Each structure stands twice: as C-alpha cells, then as structure tokens.
Amino acid sequence: TFYLMVSSLDFRCWRRSPVVFAIYSSFIVLLLTNASVGGFQSQRSFVSPAPARTHLDSASQGGLESTTKFKCTTDATAKEVNQRRIMLQQIAKIVTLPTAAATIIYPPALAAATDTTTTIARTITDSSVVLNNDGSRVQVPLEYIQALDAYVVHYYLFGERFGAIVDTGSPFLTCPSTCSAWSYKYKWGCYHPERTFDSGLSNTIEGFDNNQGKVVWRKAGFSFDEDLQPQQNLTFGVFGPDLLDGPGGVFFGLIKDTDKWIRPSFLGQTGYKSFCVDLRDNSTLTLSKQAMILGDDYIPLTRDLNRRYKAPVVHYIAKAAGFIVNGLPLKLDVRTPTYVIFDTGLSGMAVSDELYQGRNLQARKNREKSLWGEVKVSFQTKAGDEVELSARKPITTPLGQDTPWTKFKGNLIVLGLAFLDGTSMSIDIDDNKLQLKK
C-alpha cells in the first residue's frame, strides 16, 4: 500500500501544495508507525505450519487481556501486568493490517524514529543474572518487547550478545544470520561465522509459524553472563531471512526431549532438568538441574503426542478438565482426549479444527456477539484441586488439517501469553509436572 501510494504521486504537486504534502506525510507516518508494532500472533510450526495470519477472527474484538483467577500480590505487580496487557490489546487491534504494510523495511533513521520496542521494556543488564555456587541453578531476567508481543531473554554466543523469544514450544538455541539493527522488529544480535566452528551436522529446512527456511547448525561458546558463568560449547541454529521475516523471529527453545533425528535441544545439551518462566512483576527465567516442584500441587503432564502419535518433540502437555467460552462449556468428545500445550512463544491461542468449527456453530446458534470473548481452560492437579487459566478475547487461530501427527484425532488447544502473562509456570521435565502460581 505504501509503495503504490508513493510511486503514483507526482512529487512536483507536493511542492506546489503544502497542504496535500502534509496530509500524505501524516498518513505515511501513521501507516509506518502501525507497521512497526507488527500485530502478528507469534508461533512456530512444531505445533502446526498451517495457521494463516489472515484468519484472525477475534482480532477485531479487542485484545489479549489475560485475566487469570489468581489475585495479584502487590499493587506494583498489578500495574506492570496491566501495562503489558494494554500493549497486547493495542497490538490485537491492528492485527488485521495487510501483511505487506506490516513488513515494510524502512531506513535506519525512520526506524529509530518509529521504534516502539522500549515503551514498556525494562533495561536489562548482565548484572541481573543470578548464579548459585555450584552452577546448578541460574536465574536470568526477561524483557517484554511490545513490537514482538513476547518476552525476550539475553545470552552470549562467541562473545556476542543476543536476544531471543522465550519459547516453551520449540527446542533449539538459535541466532540470526544477519547483523542488522533496523531490518526487523527487534535487533536480535550480530552473527559472526568466523567466530564459530563446525557442529558436524548438516543444514536443515525448518518451519516456524508460516515461515520455512534453511537453518545452518554451528557450534560456539554460550553463557548468560560472561563474568559469572563459564562458557559451554553448544550447537545452535542460524536463521536466515526466510525465518526472520513477517511473524518470524529468533527463539530460545525450552523443549528438552526430542526424537534422535532432531537436532540437539538447548536443555538437552546443558543438563537442566527443570525451569520456571515467571511472568509476574520482575519477569525471569530460572533453569535448574534439580527438581523445583514440591508436594502434590501440580498439574500432571503427558507425553502421549510423542509416544502414541509420533510427534518429533515432547511438548509440555496436560489434559484439559474443562473448556468454557463466553460462559458456555464447549462439548468435548469423551472418546478422544483434549490436550493443552503450554507455549510462551505464542501470543494468543490455537485450537484444532474440530473445536474451532464447533465453537463457530455454537456462537451462531446462540447469536453471540463475540466468538472468543471470555475463554477459560481448567485442569485438575494431583491433589485433586482445580486450576483455571483464562483470557479475554485472545487472538485465536485454527491449527489446520496438516498437523505433524496424522494419526491424532483428539482435541488440541495451544495456550499462549494471553493466558500465561502474569503467572509463574514451573516445569519439572523428567517428572512430568507443571505448576502455576500467581
């Protein structure tokens, strides 16, 4: 839209008429400002490569306000979480912009003028990293980036500082193949291949969201803080432009267990057995080589998608006890399971086609104004209590027919930041336990 408008105008007319010039200039600045926010729902194709960004039915309904049942512990916590949710709402309101407008690459000077990534984000320094004496536990600060609608963790590869989206839905440590401060919505870091060495692994084609592209597998020294933590040589994936464009980005994967033919996961290489993604007041990521969950106040996880349906990675999945939309329970087929994937790399929610179509029929029958107005998903803990996650007007997409598991016929729900923001999620990977706290 921007290109056609500019190229079709006679610039001599602008000089003769300052009013016309002012009107068109204002329109262009507004368009680019909206484009720089980039209203995409971020997700990778380890769940499904199918969802299209033009199919966001609930985008026009409002935002992604997360409203879990838990109560905020302090006023400061509530204020900061509300700020993030306001940003999520603003992003959702412009999510229906044409893809071409949302992926405009603008020059460095204009990018600096329209940059919105620091609106809420706190300044993160390496001194914020906390490491215990024996190195078995590390706590790293997270940074909420408005333009990405995601939380970013910072780390070092071959001495260069990188940022990546904290992602419980993918397994890999990654970095960009570029070194650009303005081509994308966030400066991920600068790749220097001469500082890396051969991993012994061939290149692969990977799919993240609707993007597919080549990934080069290299090795280099990794650490969260070069002064506190000794470097460890790890295998990581280098993303090309195909995986960085549009809704793409750089991901810090927290799935540990994968099939043998999958490239090495970050957690599989580092030996961490549990982690906590705390998205409350001072957002942090904690990695531990010991279990973090005590007692029976946890949600049991299942590995059925990997063991029974041949999913290539072991997602963090629990069985849903209930699924309620706009106060109406959606009937779940008792003959098939309803699995829920917890995915911090997703901004809203994705559901299997059967659930999506069932909800459409239900809304039309009841003449509801909002398709995905108030969504509640409940789980049963080992102790027998019920835990509920909820979100107001989450961006929701169908998973599509082409899921990675052809034999799976059950219901599948993927919950993203709209449900998890403002909560603390701990996972003991080997023990298959998940705990939610506020």
pLDDT tens digits along 22-34: 555 555 545 444 4
Locate 104 and state its tokens: 């405009």
Specify the pLDDT at position 107: 30
Task: Using only the alpha carbons of the chain, give its radius of gyration.
Answer: 22
Specify the pLDDT at position 125: 52
Specify the pLDDT at position 371: 93
The percent of residues above 90 in pLDDT, for the chain, comes to 53
Helix residue ranges, H only, 247-370? 266-270, 304-307, 353-366
pLDDT tens digits for 60-76?
333 333 323 333 333 44
Instruction: Tell me the pLDDT band of 241, cut-offs 50, 70 and 90.
Output: confident
> Is 90 exceeded by the pLDDT of residue 216?
yes
Phi then psi for residue 345, to 5 deg, are: -85, 0
The mean per-residue pLDDT over the stretch 412-419 comes to 96
Specify the pLDDT at position 354: 84
Specify the pLDDT at position 96: 28
- Which of residues 151 and 404 earns the better pLDDT score? 151
Counting Cα atoms < 13 Å in the Cβ hemisphere of 252 gives 21
The mean per-residue pLDDT over the stretch 244-263 comes to 90
> Is 90 exceeded by the pLDDT of residue 309?
no
> Is 60 exceeded by the pLDDT of residue 264?
yes
Q: Ramachandran region of residue 117, left (φ > 0), alpha (ψ -120 to 50) or beta?
A: alpha
Specify the pLDDT at position 9: 39
Lowest mean pLDDT among 108-117, 210-219, 383-392, 394-403: 108-117
Task: Report the alpha-carbon distance of residue 177 to residue 179 in Å, rounded.
Answer: 7
Specify the pLDDT at position 409: 76
Instruction: Tell me the pLDDT band of 50, cut-offs 50, 70 and 90.
Output: very low
Instruction: Tell me the pLDDT band of 1, cut-offs 50, 70 and 90.
Output: very low
The identity of residue 35, as a single letter, is A
**How far, CA to CA in Å, does 40 sit from each of 8, 87, 209, 240, 349?**
29, 13, 11, 19, 12
The mean per-residue pLDDT over the stretch 68-86 comes to 42
- Which of residues 165 and 103 earns the better pLDDT score? 165
Specify the pLDDT at position 66: 31
> Is 70 exceeded by the pLDDT of residue 316?
yes
Task: Report the alpha-carbon distance of residue 422 to residue 64 in Å, rounded.
Answer: 12
**Structural contact between residues 394 and 419, judged by C-beta atoms closer than 8 angstroms:** yes
Phi then psi for residue 127, to 5 deg, are: -65, -10
Whether the predicted model's global pTM rises above the 0.85 cut: no
- Find the distance separating the first CA and the last CA of the chain, reported in whole Å: 44
For 341, residues 6+ apart whose C-beta sits below 8 A from its C-beta are 47, 169, 315, 316, 317, 412, 413, 414, 415
> Is 60 exceeded by the pLDDT of residue 402?
no
- Which of residues 31 and 142 earns the better pLDDT score? 142
Give the number of other CB atoms < 10 A from CB of residue 203: 12
> Is 90 exceeded by the pLDDT of residue 343?
yes
Specify the pLDDT at position 404: 59
> Is 60 exceeded by the pLDDT of residue 362?
yes
Specify the pLDDT at position 312: 92
Specify the pLDDT at position 279: 97
Specify the pLDDT at position 21: 54
The sign of the dihedral angle between the CA atoms of 13, 19, 25, 28 is negative
> Is 50 exceeded by the pLDDT of residue 295?
yes
The mean per-residue pLDDT over the stretch 140-148 comes to 92
Q: Over the chain, what is the mean pLDDT?
A: 76
Specify the pLDDT at position 224: 96
